[in-house]
């Protein structure tokens, strides 16, 4: 499973869910993020700069079975060129396109999905990586950091 955008808030959870499902997880990332990603279970980190499609195809000539793209904004992902025949794509940024095996994920919690993620959190399968926690009065600072900075996992706001 290739995860593009693995370092961020969504991707850092996606890679853990991939590992829990038994996938070999591959992610393009910055060198300084490699240790963080390996700590989440990422099996292989590829350079983020350069031609990702060529890099993946050289490493996996038959392509990858699954792609999660959390960075391509609201247009079909160019990275589907790395998919193996029958491979699947999911994206929270509407980058999956349309058709069989393509899923644009929208936040829509159900009791069933919340129960499932609660269990994965409770048993330690999934952790929520928090780079920094801000107190409520620091909310503007937190938003500024979110907009301007490169975050490993999530920034948190303490409300109680």
Ligand X SMILES: NC(=O)c1ccc[n+]([C@@H]2O[C@H](COP(=O)([O-])OP(=O)(O)OC[C@H]3O[C@@H](n4cnc5c(N)ncnc54)[C@H](OP(=O)(O)O)[C@@H]3O)[C@@H](O)[C@H]2O)c1
Binding site for ligand X (CB under 6 A): 4-5, 7-11, 28-29, 48, 70-71, 92-93, 105-107, 150-151
Largest Cα span, the chain: 51
Residue 3 C-beta: closest distance to ligand X, Å = 9
List the Cα angle 101/152/26 in 5-degree steps.
Answer: 40
Nearer residue to ligand X within complex by CB, 19 or 79? 79
Q: Please give the Cα distance from 134 to 28 (Å, whole number).
A: 29
Give me the sheet containing 64-69, strands edge to edge: 44-47, 26-29, 2-4, 64-69, 83-91, 102-104
> What residue has token string 């929208």?
106
State which residue, 7 or 16, has the beta carbon closest to ligand X: 7
- How near is the Cβ of 73 to ligand X at its closest, in Å? 6
User: Measured from the CB of residue 152, what is the shortest distance to ligand X in angstroms?
Assistant: 8
CB of 47 to ligand X, least distance (A): 9
Please identify the residue of the shown chain whose CB is closest to the bound ligand X: 8
């Amino acid at each position: 499973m290739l995860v593009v955008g693995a370092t961020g808030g969504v991707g850092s959870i996606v890679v853990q869910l991939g590992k829990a499902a038994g996938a070999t997880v591959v992610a393009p990332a910055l060198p300084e993020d490699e240790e963080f990603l390996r700590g989440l279970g990422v099996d292989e980190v590829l350079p983020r700069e350069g031609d990702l499609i060529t890099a993946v195809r050289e490493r996996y000539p038959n392509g990858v079975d699954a792609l999660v793209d959390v960075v391509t904004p609201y247009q079909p992902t160019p990275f589907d060129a790395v998919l193996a025949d029958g491979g699947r794509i999911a994206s929270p940024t509407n980058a999956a396109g349309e058709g069989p095996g393509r899923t644009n994920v929208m936040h829509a919690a159900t009791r069933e999905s919340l129960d499932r993620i609660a269990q994965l959190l409770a048993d330690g399968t999934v952790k929520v990586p928090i780079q920094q926690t801000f107190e409520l009065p620091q909310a503007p600072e937190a938003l500024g950091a979110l907009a301007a900075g490169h975050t490993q996992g999530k920034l948190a706001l303490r409300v109680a």
